[in-house]
Structure 1
Amino acid sequence: MTSDSCTPRFRLALIAHDNKKDAMVALAREFAPFLQGCALCATGTTGGRLAQEVGLQVERMLSGPLGGDLQIGARLAVGEVDAVIFLRDPMTPQPHEPDINALVRACDVHDVPCATNVASARLLLQRWMAAQTV
């Protein structure tokens, strides 16, 4: 975020593996008033559920296995994403694991916060909400 006189919108990417989509919807409901003021992008199914079940405006990328993780990673690499919430399922092998690793690595390379579980996602969102009220 910049220090301009007007506050820019927080640009957040949202991704959730199949077994974590319900948790993502619950998290989005919990933070819906804040998320409504953000520029959101998400992988296909996750974005669809967030729009339908929470009423958020979400730019939908491809499904993760079809390249959605890579699309978000490309935006992140050029400074178009401020943070990523990627609710990963550590217990289920993912066929597109190399894409997942590339996205998380891109977060590390570009110093972009990446929450990979609900607890860290709550901390990230609470921090950004607090920054908006200062």
Structure 2
Amino acid sequence: MHERKLVSQAKKHIALIAHDGMKQELLEWVDFNKGTLARHFLYATASTGKLIMENTGLPVSVLASGPLGGDLQIGSGIVEGKIDFLIFFWDPLEPQPHDPDVKALLRVAVLYNIPTASNRATADYLISSPLMESPYTRILPDFSHKIHREV
């Protein structure tokens, strides 16, 4: 098996997403970690990104709304090596009309070995890691045996 490696620079490209029932919690987390997050590039789906900019003043590259393709845009950024880190506060108590997109995004994050936090405790651990402020080499598993299998 042949592994590929991808280096994330010290200045990370961080995607921030929150379902409606979790936006306030993400906003509080971002505000608390504003100093650290200000040293990185931030991306967010539409309403989450607008809330973050309005309430914290942090610059955010705002993508489409999650249900309108924003989750897929973040997933595409992961596949293209443009997103290093995912903070996604999803609501475990509410069904989501775009649940297949959410599952696809989480699958891609795992597939491409992206650090991912789905709740505040995990986000706290990740952002306080010494790896947050330094280059990090991610190992991308080789899935060619799955892709090039005989059928």
Under a length normalisation based on structure 1, what TM-score does the superposition of the two structures give?
0.91
Higher relative contact order (CA 8 A, sep 6+): 2
- Aligned-pair Cα RMSD in Å: 1.5
Determine the C-alpha separation between the residues in 2 that align with 1:115 and 1:55.
23
Tell me by how many angstroms 1:36 deviates.
0.7
Tell me by how many angstroms 1:14 deviates.
0.2
1:19-68 superposed Cα distances (whole Å, 9 cap, x missing partner): 10000110001110011111000000000000000111000000001000
**Unmatched runs of 5 consecutive residues or more in structure 2:** 1-5, 135-151
Determine the C-alpha separation between the residues in 2 that align with 1:2 and 1:104.
20
Determine the C-alpha separation between the residues in 2 that align with 1:8 and 1:26.
24
How many percent of aligned residue pairs carry the same amino acid? 38
More helix by share: 1
Tell me by how many angstroms 1:100 deviates.
0.1
More strand by share: 2
**Unmatched runs of 5 consecutive residues or more in structure 1:** none
Give the AA of the match of 1:62.
A
Aligned residues: 128
Among 15, 18, 25, the residue aligned to 2:17: 15
Matched-pair contact (CA < 8 Å) for 1:2–1:8:
no
Extract structure 1 runs of 4+ deviating beyond 2 A.
130-133
Among 74, 78, 81, the residue aligned to 2:80: 78
Give the AA of the match of 2:15.
A
Give the AA of the match of 1:75.
G
Bigger Rg, which one: 2
- Counterpart check, 1:32 vs 2:34: yes
